[in-house]
Structure 1
């Protein structure tokens, strides 16, 4: 069962002191299961999970599992059609205009990227625009696909209005990211992926979840003045352009945001600028996001593109640094470094506050109005289990209100997955050791004030954690 797989995986995750290391495969499975629980078919849920995991794998936590709540909410509310297929509205040898049919952004993005690459193989350049799409994750995920074919890849997308133009006190453009991937030699490359605002809104959200301040120059407060309060910045939703204030050339970031809007919203016929729905406010309006995807075959231009590109990459990396401990990097190097770290440590390292916040966000989308505080009680050894501490984790949930279309055993089971996830965090914080025994009991009260338990007991032989697991035995059910 889903619950058992999830518990087994997270229980074996490692604590690094700075966060929890979760296996990449488990992160992917969890995202897929969440999307499937709200009606997404398996293959499309896997594609969307690929993009979210790719972001966390590269160290861009603002666009990974941090974005799962938004996708679940849109699918559940019917503002995104998770199983829709994009279609071509107009096609030429080098260009195409696509209708995303309000499908998942990753599905639309992969469809258009593949089409642009195929056109570039035939004519040298492929340019595909799409309308009626949704948030498609990190832009580099699509630009990088061209590298596999020895091509340059570019992509642009508009987003919810969050950028405050220079001199303005209200948002009119999105973070409007752009990406360029260009191949060198020997598998090397430069990979640019950047917002045209001073920062992506997800980074402010991430700081907010860590309860940390943001640098001055990222966002404005409600009074139109720069703020360092992540909570205020997130709620106000007034990001500054790349560069910040006018004194620091913020108008250049503003102009880049317009450039992306032209390629994404205006050219594709999607919503644009202030007409795009606001993600930070409740709405039943479809996103109608616009994208552009470009593939360029360098062999149609001057020869030896890869060699010249590699020469520039090598020269930049070998520049004398201001600080010897901080060598000069090229775009894509920080991500490559993070991927190596993930591979070495056996998983993605998440801040515990992010995991807790992500769990809470998901729970809110499942119509659970409030979750009582989990009560952790430690008791000394019992006679029947010598030299082992007994840990009791009792999770109680009040005002349990499953929605009509999601009611039933399957609904309860998915809810239990999320509860188990939260208890895992508590197991970590309770310092359960390898010699301890943990008991977990889940109690739910529905809106008729009736207590129910929707979990079956898990016996030791059904739970096979890795040797490094912090829990020797874990029983789910009455203890």
Structure 2
């Protein structure tokens, strides 16, 4: 589940106007309007869900790579191999959401041929939040799975050199009257974006997120940036070997199975600004009704979810959540009250707007929200 804690933004903005601004920025880099709209939708979806580390704070990264020629603005992704229930897509080094949506569309279209369908993608780039794709299957009454490998920045258990990425996993499952189960998690102790946000804000990071270059746990985000993130679990005693194993598993599905880069073949956190990435993704869709009637399954999901939510709470807590619930509730709030953008993000967007001749659009964006400062209701 993403970090959807209360945010104090320097300004709140309307999500639709924010998406339009992002799309217009990308179009100035010769990105086709449909690709720009899709990528903007993916980034804003993260902000709506409260996963600010993967939202429009990443726009500078996208535009930098486009400007340096490290991402193809007008790719022609294609299916390079196709079989019963599976395919491999070459993303042509375009923006990650482009080939990713193509792969998810293929899975949804071919799931009816059997129990489901899966697709791998190679020669791609950062694709946003994994849950954006997985939850599309839920809308069709199916189970969605989305995995991606990422910039090499996570150390293996007992190691002190980054050997793989944060490698997130998303699984989305339909329910009946309850909200769907949407697990969207990194296999590292934290996302790279959260470390970068802490660096920009000049704040410490929690113990157990990262180590310095000497292999010592640190709360200094700069030292963590120079060292590496820890696997989910943080230490062997607390189960980091499990996060380590999950991270490698994602690399197998996304890198080795697709033919994309994997592990240390992928750029590091600094070199990714200078190198072509060749990121790999994996998507799958499973038909619930191939196993049992959808209505029956959905009713059972409701029972399970209600049971989990009715669990007695620990001291100091008033509620037990189910995966995806905090993000969906945050999305409802932010659709109504606007997306809070931290001062650092506002400054980054302003800089981009000035460089692309979109100052007026940026000013319209700032004026689009219900007000400045404060916390969301």
TM above 0.5: yes
The 8 Å contact of residues 94 and 125 in structure 1, kept in 2 or not, is answered as yes
Assess, with a 3 A threshold, how the Cα gap between structure 1 residues 34 and 466 changes in structure 2: closer, same or farther: closer
Residue 357 of structure 1: how far off its partner (Å): 4.2
Distance in structure 2 (CA, Å) of the matches to 1:60 and 1:287: 23
1:327-372 residue CA offsets vs partner (Å, 9 max, x unmatched):
0000011101211211332x10122233224545x489x5xxxxxx
Which of 253, 272, 278 is residue 243 of structure 2 equivalent to? 253
Question: Which 5+ residue runs of structure 2 have no aligned equivalent?
Answer: 1-6, 373-377
The 8 Å contact of residues 13 and 369 in structure 2, kept in 1 or not, is answered as no
Q: How large is the RMSD of aligned CA atoms in angstroms? A: 2.4
Which residue of structure 2 aligns with residue 296 of structure 1? 286
Matched, 1:204 2:195: yes
Assess, with a 3 A threshold, how the Cα gap between structure 1 residues 70 and 354 changes in structure 2: closer, same or farther: same
Residue 240 of structure 1: how far off its partner (Å): 0.1
The 8 Å contact of residues 243 and 253 in structure 1, kept in 2 or not, is answered as yes
The 8 Å contact of residues 152 and 183 in structure 1, kept in 2 or not, is answered as yes
Assess, with a 3 A threshold, how the Cα gap between structure 1 residues 213 and 91 changes in structure 2: closer, same or farther: same
The 8 Å contact of residues 131 and 268 in structure 1, kept in 2 or not, is answered as yes
Which of 181, 205, 213 is residue 214 of structure 1 equivalent to? 205
Matched, 1:227 2:218: yes
Distance in structure 2 (CA, Å) of the matches to 1:286 and 1:18: 33
The 8 Å contact of residues 162 and 171 in structure 1, kept in 2 or not, is answered as yes
1:129-173 residue CA offsets vs partner (Å, 9 max, x unmatched):
010011000000000000111000001110010110011111000
Assess, with a 3 A threshold, how the Cα gap between structure 1 residues 467 and 244 changes in structure 2: closer, same or farther: closer
SS at match of 1:294: strand
Alignment of 1:13-24 (within 5 A): 18-24=9-15
SS at match of 2:237: helix
Which residue of structure 1 aligns with residue 3 of structure 2? none
Alignment of 1:284-433 (within 5 A): 284-303=274-293, 304-323=296-315, 325-345=317-337, 347-360=338-351, 362=352, 413-414=357-358, 416=359
The 8 Å contact of residues 116 and 285 in structure 2, kept in 1 or not, is answered as yes
Matched, 1:89 2:94: no
Assess, with a 3 A threshold, how the Cα gap between structure 1 residues 359 and 281 changes in structure 2: closer, same or farther: farther
Distance in structure 2 (CA, Å) of the matches to 1:468 and 1:315: 37
1:453-473 residue CA offsets vs partner (Å, 9 max, x unmatched):
xxxxxxxxxxxx789889xxx
Which residue of structure 2 aligns with residue 152 of structure 1? 143
Matched, 1:264 2:254: yes
Alignment of 1:34-113 (within 5 A): 34-113=25-104
Residue 323 of structure 1: how far off its partner (Å): 3.9
TM-score relative to the length of structure 1: 0.72
Q: Which of the pair is proportionally richer in strand?
A: 1
- May I ask how many residue pairs the two structures share in their alignment? 364
Residue 418 of structure 1: how far off its partner (Å): 8.8
Matched, 1:276 2:272: no
TM-score relative to the length of structure 2: 0.90
The 8 Å contact of residues 153 and 182 in structure 1, kept in 2 or not, is answered as yes
1:402-454 residue CA offsets vs partner (Å, 9 max, x unmatched):
xxxxxxxxx5x34x4599699x7xxxxxxxxxxxxxxxxxxxxxxxxxxxxxx
The 8 Å contact of residues 173 and 181 in structure 2, kept in 1 or not, is answered as yes
Distance in structure 2 (CA, Å) of the matches to 1:185 and 1:60: 25
Greater relative contact order (CA < 8 Å, ≥ 6 in sequence)? 2
Residue 212 of structure 1: how far off its partner (Å): 1.5
